[in-house]
Amino acid sequence: MDVKRVKDYLYWLYYQYQLVTCSYVLEPWEQSMFHTITVTVLAMVVYTAYVFVPIHVRLALQFFSQIFGSQAQSAV
């Protein structure tokens, strides 16, 4: 894979990000604050999904398995 093409593609993605968020019209200090807040919120969303989604999926599977009749085996 060509390094220049990857670099150009990353620049293009960053340009698209700036166009979508309209952050290209901000001053440099405003851009850094905006990017910091955006990255922080994104990191919190990813962490929350990593922690809580598996728990909810497991609970949903248990709930639907009880509804449709495949009861869990008792460990007696």
Instruction: Give the mean pLDDT of 42-69.
Output: 92
- Count the domains in the chain: 1
The pLDDT assigned to 75 comes to 55
36/60 Cα distance (integer angstroms):
35
Contact 38, 26 (CB under 8 A): no
DSSP state of 22: T
Which residues have CB under 8 Å from 21's CB, separation 6+?
Answer: 34, 38
Is the predicted pLDDT of residue 40 greater than 80, yes or no?
Answer: yes
Residue 70 predicted with pLDDT over 80: no
Task: Answer with the residue of higher pLDDT: 15 or 68.
Answer: 15
Range of the domain at 31: 3-74
pLDDT at residue 74 greater than cutoff 80: no
Asked if residue 72 has pLDDT above 80, the reply is: no
How would DSSP label each residue in 37-69? HHHHHHHHHHHHHHHHHHHHHHHHHHHHHHHTT
**Which residue in the block uniquely carries the two structure tokens 């495949």?**
70
